[in-house]
């Protein structure tokens, strides 16, 4: 197993609050139904949404392409029973993962009062 790539992203939580107010379809365009269900369980706390958004950006950086060739909805960030982030891939991103023999994507998310930050590590078999 090898590290294919690493990525990090930080976002101001108030930017997410602003986009949620201005763009009603922001959640549906960028997050899966399961992610939106998770946000609902968290009362749509902006820091939770910002953490997932930062995770998707960090993953795109770790892939090395940015958001090219796939959509943000192709990345799904859920939580296990202990709250650990779990990454699922779909559609074009799933195909990219197969092409490059990517076996796992790990994400760590944290936030303060003003910022959410996420780190992604992509592990490949080669």
The pTM for the full model equals 0.94
Per-residue model confidence as pLDDT tens digits over 75-114: 999 999 999 999 999 999 999 999 999 999 999 999 999 9
Is 56 noted as a catalytic residue in this protein?
no
**Residues near 125 by beta carbon (within 8 Å), at least 6 away in sequence:** 1, 2, 101, 103
Name all domains of the chain by residue range, CATH numbers in brackets: 2-124 (3.90.470.20)
Distance CA 46, CA 27 (A): 11
Given the residues 45, 56, 61, 84, select the one marked as catalytic: 61
Is 99 noted as a catalytic residue in this protein?
no
Per-residue model confidence as pLDDT tens digits over 28-85: 999 999 999 999 999 999 999 999 999 999 999 999 887 878 999 999 999 999 999 9
**What value, to the nearest 5°, has the Cα angle with vertex 62 and ends 49 and 33?**
35
């Amino acid at each position: 197993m090898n590290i294919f790539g690493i990525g990090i992203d930080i976002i101001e939580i108030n930017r997410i609050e602003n986009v949620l107010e201005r763009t009603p379809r922001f959640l549906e365009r960028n997050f899966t139904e399961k992610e939106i269900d998770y946000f609902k369980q968290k009362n749509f706390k902006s820091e939770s949404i910002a953490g997932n958004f930062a995770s998707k950006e960090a993953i795109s950086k770790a892939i090395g392409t940015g958001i090219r060739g796939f959509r943000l909805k192709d990345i799904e960030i859920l939580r296990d029973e202990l709250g650990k982030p779990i990454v699922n891939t779909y559609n074009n991103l799933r195909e990219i993962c197969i092409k490059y023999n990517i076996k796992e994507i790990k994400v760590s998310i944290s936030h303060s009062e003003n910022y959410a930050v996420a780190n992604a590590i992509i592990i490949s078999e080669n």
